[in-house]
Structure 1
Amino acid sequence: MKKKILLLFAISLVAQWAFSQPKWVDKAKRAVFSIVTYDKDDKMLNTGNGFFVSEDGVALSDYSLFKGARRAVIVNYEGKEMPVDAIMGADDMYDVVKFKVGITEKKVPALVLAASAPVVGSEVYLLPYSTQKSRTYTAGKVKAVDKVAENYSYYTLDMKLKDKMVSCPLMTMEGNVFGLAQKASGQDTASICYAVDANYVMAQKIAALSYSDMALKDIGIKKALPETEEEALIFLYMASSQLSPEKYMEVLEDFIRQYPNSSDGYLRRASQRLFASDDEASMKLVVEDLDQALKVAAKKDDVLFSRAKIIYNYVLSHSEKPYEDWSFDKALDEIRQAIAIQPLPVYVQTEGDILYAKADYAGALQAYEKVNQSELGSAATLFTTAKIKEAMGASPEEVLAVIDSCVARFNKPYTQEAAPYLLERAQALMKVGKARNAMLDYDAYYDAVKGNVNDVFYYYREQAALKARQYQRALDDLAKAIELNPKDLTYRAELAVVNIRVGRNEEAVKILKEALEIDPKYAEAYRLIGIAQIQMKQKAAACESFAKAKELGDPNVDVLIEKNCK
């Protein structure tokens, strides 16, 4: 009789529990899952909870769970594992993360986001993760609602919350998810807990410049692409300098899947594949990407321009073994097709570069003269024009006139941007015998780079000073060159030459003997010692020095021996 009473009591409790439980609980709990994250050594990092908010695998959880992770998997209500495919957004301040799970089935159970926030006093429910058939849940009430980022809510709940319930979904009476559970810090079990608005977590996203976001950087799992193609392209650019080639290729593959009609994806993948290519099969994939880029392109000329540049640069670096029909001529054909569609100056400049590489200097000059007359004309294009003229055998004066035009593009005082052209003009001035003007350009270069020069600069400026007969400046510059590079014997020999020029023969001999201490077989030192000794009327000693220079193989000493030692 007693057992019968107990059985009837248990049945009545179950009936009462079933009656009081919201009807949506059994279905909704299937959207809740467990998460396991792993570190860079593939060791377990953290475990926690999350839940699906879309049938295609978008899910929410807490950021702390993912910080430092290199991969993660979820375990659904059936005990099935699924990999976390990409991070879609994160906020470390509110400890939330949005991510995409790589699902194998067509759809997953997902919760519906509440359209409005529950008010203070509303009864709410927390759904824990479970693989069991138990229908348990935790009930509580909204104690307070605060604003987050103006449009979202942060909830204080009168509800007991255990550690294993963190990041579980909080539901309205209607069965819609409104929050992500967050416990009160410092309490294992508390009567008060908190929840961040699920819509706030959904608002987290990857933006064009998200690779500079430290919260996202601290998660080693692949990031999803931004929602627009324009932002995704900027994101790709940022990712290219921060990811390994393998990881960057994964992002490129995602971009192509998301934007299959964007030529940029295929062009970037072609460039990435070309960089890593080492056989015919991989080169074939490059060509396929280039062809697909042209096929889907809305602006054919833009893709033809990119194809021309890729082929041109490849041939430049693989001239000894080009791929199939890849050649300067093929690159030229591509760029001329682009020009036929729209003769943009940048296309014409590329045509000039290809013609220059083909040694078709007349054609290259014609192209660059067009560029110089366009809005693309610059110091750089004028400089290339000067080089083309130089290759054509133009007079030094004609080349100098073009370089003058380069420098004229800059205002005084010159900045570092003008520095390369000042250096080039100084050397051009030396070729036409204008050493004093060359010195002025060397000085201007020195100021433009704020004195950040090397030993070679001092040697070149010394050459100008020597020809300008400014001997003390020549001596000072050589001293600086030797200070920066004391083992370069050319500088010591030049210093000796200048000293001989100004009649300081003893000093020249001393400098040359120091050079011989560095290299006893430095033949030029003996020849110059002999010249200094001739100046000092030490003919016999000079002839011994000349003989030693000849013994060491100096080809320039024979004339001195013929003149002074017969």
Structure 2
Amino acid sequence: MKKNLLLTLVLCLLAQWSVAQAPKWVEKAKRAVFSVVTYDENDKILNTGNGFFVTEDGIALSDYSLFKGAQRAVVINSEGAQMPVDVILGANDMYDVVKFRVAISGKKVPALVVSTTAPAVGTSVYLLPYSTQKDRSYTAGQVKEESKVEEKFHYYTLDMHLKDKMVSCPVMTVDGQVFGLAQKSSGKDTATICYAVGADYAMEQKVSPLSFNDHTLSSIGIKKALPDTEEQALVFLYMASAQLTPEKYAELLNDFIAQYPNSADGYLRRANSQMYLSKETDSMDKVAADMDKALEVALKKDDAYFNRAKLIYNYQLGKPETTYKDWTYDKAIEEVRKAIAIEELPVYVQLEGDIQFAKKDYAAAFENYQKVNATNLVSPATFFSAAKTKELMEAAPEEILVLMDSCIAHCPQPFTEENAPYLLERAQMRINAGQARGAMLDYDEYYKAVRGNVNDVFYYYREQASFQAKQFQRALDDMAKAIELNPKELTYRSELAVVNIRVGRNEEAIKVLKDALEIDPKYAEAYRLIGVAQLQLKQNKEACASFAKAKELGDPNVDALIEKHCK
């Protein structure tokens, strides 16, 4: 009995000694430690854990596992007050760390100072658990091992017992600075050994321009921070624009403008986004206000005028039911000319040409396109614009073809799928200029550029060129291929019959046309062409009967044949 009493007394004295020996900074430092509760998409509790503040404006550290899959999270500080997690600043799944900011409504929070040096092996260290009690309780231990993470950060093995509820609590140096986040023990000796990832490594986590596609960050549903610089944030916006809904992207733009209020790009992008979401007057007022603000803050006023012109131009291309204020093509030209007055960049001149093209002022558009073609902005696209403008001006086919040749000459060799459509355009222009053989060769180049990935329409058009170039076997082969790909298209069967008649294969032509009539017995053109083939076979009586059937079915082109051969 006396022994038990003595043991109890000793334990009490040891406990008092432990508290007495607790560093003075423990009670204050523990106010920076908090509990974290994360919630899933159904707003049910997902996980609970710990974390701590590292800056007085609410930046904090915790473990990534706690946040994986979370749609929202709150922290509960040492006084029991709840604060929502506002934004994720960075994360790493391999070392299980996350950095985030808590919304603190302008108030400062107790924060720990991150140590700039790693504690040496054998040094005493302290783990501070989360507690709503004002006490100096802690867990003491020593640094057993220290290793490097990415050559300049630290990872620690500690002689310290760690309970599950202590994961992501701060591990402190003797002078009260945090150097690590406690992590789960994975080895056999879990009673005396635990681990800590360096707080310096956790602090380095950040959002980069390419983080939008980062699986670790995307697995957290809470809003992510923008990168630290405007240039990087703009790249991040670009990456996000193709993957977010318009509404979510609009929220991201609002965050960008809040973080970079003097960036003209933010206002211009928000104006574009808002315009595509709604063209109602109230929405357009917001668009116009953002455009005005962009011009106000822009360092390069010409760039701002150019973007204003482009936005108005795109607005008009959308064919609004009623035009907003003075947002016409003329207004767009007025804005881009302000840009050109400051600096006549080729891209500005190109836009003026595009607007004039939309206005059907083809002469003015062509003049601007030719200006661009004389600059370093020249490309297949700029010569193509000039060629199409000349075509709409009803210029001679040879004039148009000269521009199209320049377009093709500026394409990289060998042709790519990106530039292959220009070959199709030149092929048609060569047909118009009576250069059927050249057109056929363009179709061949296109076929190679797209590695044979073509449809029935391609074979039909190439057949037209081959036929005019008197390459009849190629024409027959192409029409056979078109019919194979689209057997219900009657035009292809008629065209195949025409080629067969042209080379004297009249019986084959009649067979092809009868196959067409199996598909549609009222296909009038088939009867007319059967009649033509029958004439070639000296079957005049049968031909006239075929012509009569074509007329009965409403063929408008058969009257001349009846007049000539059936009177």
- When structure 1 is superposed on structure 2, of 20-29 and 156-165 the one drifting more is 20-29
Q: 1:188 to 1:46 in 2, by over 3 A?
A: farther
Question: Tell me, what secondary structure is at the counterpart of 2:160?
Answer: strand
Quote the sequence identity (%): 68
- 1:79 maps to 2:80: yes
C-alpha displacement of 1:413: 4.2
C-alpha displacement of 1:414: 3.5
Counterpart position of 1:547: 548
- When structure 1 is superposed on structure 2, of 236-245 and 167-176 the one drifting more is 236-245
- When structure 1 is superposed on structure 2, of 414-423 and 215-224 the one drifting more is 414-423
- 1:92 maps to 2:93: yes
- 1:430-472 alpha-carbon deviations (Å, 9 max, x no partner): 1121211221222122222221211111111111111111111
TM-score, normalised by the number of residues in structure 2:
0.95
Cα contact 1:123–1:173 (8 A) shared by 2: yes
Counterpart position of 1:471: 472
Equivalent AA in structure 2 for residue 360 of structure 1: D
Q: Aligned partners of 2:467 and 2:119: how far apart in 1?
A: 87
C-alpha displacement of 1:335: 0.3
Counterpart position of 2:120: 119
- 1:207 maps to 2:245: no
Counterpart position of 1:369: 370
- The 5 Å alignment of 1:128-527 reads 128-185=129-186, 190-410=191-411, 413-527=414-528
- 1:531-563 alpha-carbon deviations (Å, 9 max, x no partner): 112222222322222222122211111112222
C-alpha displacement of 1:92: 1.3
Equivalent AA in structure 2 for residue 330 of structure 1: K
- 1:557 maps to 2:555: no
C-alpha displacement of 1:212: 2.8
Q: Aligned partners of 1:226 and 1:208: how far apart in 2?
A: 6
TM-score, normalised by the number of residues in structure 1:
0.95
- When structure 1 is superposed on structure 2, of 313-322 and 300-309 the one drifting more is 313-322
Equivalent AA in structure 2 for residue 423 of structure 1: L
Q: Aligned partners of 1:320 and 1:531: how far apart in 2?
A: 52
Question: Tell me, what secondary structure is at the counterpart of 1:402?
Answer: helix
Q: 1:8 to 1:491 in 2, by over 3 A?
A: closer
Q: Aligned partners of 1:143 and 1:413: how far apart in 2?
A: 63
C-alpha displacement of 1:240: 1.3
- When structure 1 is superposed on structure 2, of 553-562 and 260-269 the one drifting more is 553-562
The count of aligned residue pairs is 562
C-alpha displacement of 1:359: 1.3
Cα contact 1:182–1:195 (8 A) shared by 2: yes
C-alpha displacement of 1:322: 2.5
Q: Aligned partners of 2:309 and 2:455: how far apart in 1?
A: 38
- 1:21 maps to 2:22: yes
- The 5 Å alignment of 1:100-115 reads 100-115=101-116
Q: 1:139 to 1:243 in 2, by over 3 A?
A: same
C-alpha displacement of 1:134: 4.3
Equivalent AA in structure 1 for residue 554 of structure 2: G
Could you tell me which runs of 5 or more consecutive residues in structure 1 were left unpaired when the two chains were aligned. Answer: none
Could you tell me which runs of 5 or more consecutive residues in structure 2 were left unpaired when the two chains were aligned. Answer: 1-5
Q: Aligned partners of 1:8 and 1:426: how far apart in 2?
A: 102
Q: Aligned partners of 2:409 and 2:134: how far apart in 1?
A: 82
Equivalent AA in structure 2 for residue 279 of structure 1: E
Cα contact 1:163–1:189 (8 A) shared by 2: no
Q: Aligned partners of 1:17 and 1:165: how far apart in 2?
A: 19
Question: Tell me, what secondary structure is at the counterpart of 1:107?
Answer: coil
- 1:138-180 alpha-carbon deviations (Å, 9 max, x no partner): 1112122222222222111111110000000011121111110
Counterpart position of 1:532: 533
Cα contact 1:58–1:100 (8 A) shared by 2: yes
C-alpha displacement of 1:299: 0.6
Cα contact 1:290–1:307 (8 A) shared by 2: yes
Equivalent AA in structure 2 for residue 517 of structure 1: E
Equivalent AA in structure 2 for residue 548 of structure 1: K
Counterpart position of 1:45: 46
- 1:262-318 alpha-carbon deviations (Å, 9 max, x no partner): 001111111111111142111111111111111111111111111111110110112
Q: 1:307 to 1:187 in 2, by over 3 A?
A: farther
Q: 1:194 to 1:411 in 2, by over 3 A?
A: closer
Cα contact 2:119–2:143 (8 A) shared by 1: yes
Equivalent AA in structure 2 for residue 538 of structure 1: Q
Q: Aligned partners of 2:257 and 2:381: how far apart in 1?
A: 35
- 1:104-151 alpha-carbon deviations (Å, 9 max, x no partner): 242111111123222222221111112234442111121222222222
Counterpart position of 2:3: none
Question: Tell me, what secondary structure is at the counterpart of 2:221?
Answer: coil
Cα contact 1:162–1:188 (8 A) shared by 2: no
- When structure 1 is superposed on structure 2, of 473-482 and 241-250 the one drifting more is 241-250
Equivalent AA in structure 1 for residue 242 of structure 2: S
Q: Aligned partners of 1:327 and 1:381: how far apart in 2?
A: 24
Q: Aligned partners of 1:423 and 1:136: how far apart in 2?
A: 79
Q: Aligned partners of 1:552 and 1:132: how far apart in 2?
A: 97
Counterpart position of 2:65: 64
- When structure 1 is superposed on structure 2, of 347-356 and 237-246 the one drifting more is 237-246
Q: Aligned partners of 2:12 and 2:402: how far apart in 1?
A: 104
Say what the alpha-carbon RMSD is for the aligned residues: 2.1
Question: Tell me, what secondary structure is at the counterpart of 1:506?
Answer: helix
Q: 1:10 to 1:494 in 2, by over 3 A?
A: closer
C-alpha displacement of 1:244: 2.4
Question: Tell me, what secondary structure is at the counterpart of 1:161?
Answer: coil
- When structure 1 is superposed on structure 2, of 113-122 and 284-293 the one drifting more is 113-122
Q: Aligned partners of 1:463 and 1:327: how far apart in 2?
A: 42
Question: Tell me, what secondary structure is at the counterpart of 1:239?
Answer: helix
Counterpart position of 1:34: 35
Q: Aligned partners of 1:189 and 1:463: how far apart in 2?
A: 81
Question: Tell me, what secondary structure is at the counterpart of 1:365?
Answer: helix
- When structure 1 is superposed on structure 2, of 346-355 and 398-407 the one drifting more is 398-407
C-alpha displacement of 1:10: 11
Q: 1:411 to 1:329 in 2, by over 3 A?
A: closer
